[in-house]
Amino acid sequence: MLWCGDVTQIDTGEGKLYLARVEDLFSCRLLGHAMFEHHDAALAVASLQMAVATCGGDVDGVIFHSDDGLAPITFERHVIEKRHASSALLRTTVA
């Protein structure tokens, strides 16, 4: 599976909102989304958590890519890095 994530800024009359989404590139299915007033790791993590829940928690073999300038990496590593966790917890699989 190959998932892709993106964040879009939405200007409103009350200020900016940020929409993060996660899509399965093979099925073109929207798996997760989140909307917050701030563009930060919590926004990305919330959309990824929804995607995981949508898939019943099974993320084995998922590669996640976003346009944040990073190379494609495994889903587990992306989530852990977004939470600034210890690199010792990472699975070392890199796409």
Question: Over its length of 95 residues, how does the chain's per-residue pLDDT go in tens digits?
Answer: 889 888 889 999 999 999 999 999 999 999 999 999 988 888 888 998 999 999 898 888 888 887 764 444 455 555 545 544 333 333 333 33
Structural domains in the chain, sorted by start: 2-89 (3.30.420)
Q: 55 near 73, Cβ under 8 Å?
A: no
Burial of residue 91, with CB atoms counted within 10 A of its CB: 0-12 exposed, 13-18 middle, 19 or more buried: exposed
Per-residue model confidence (pLDDT) at position 78: 54
Q: How far apart are CA 58 and CA 82, in angstroms?
A: 19
Q: Which two tokens stand for residue 66?
A: 């976003």
State pTM to two decimals: 0.68
Q: How far apart are CA 12 and CA 24, in angstroms?
A: 28
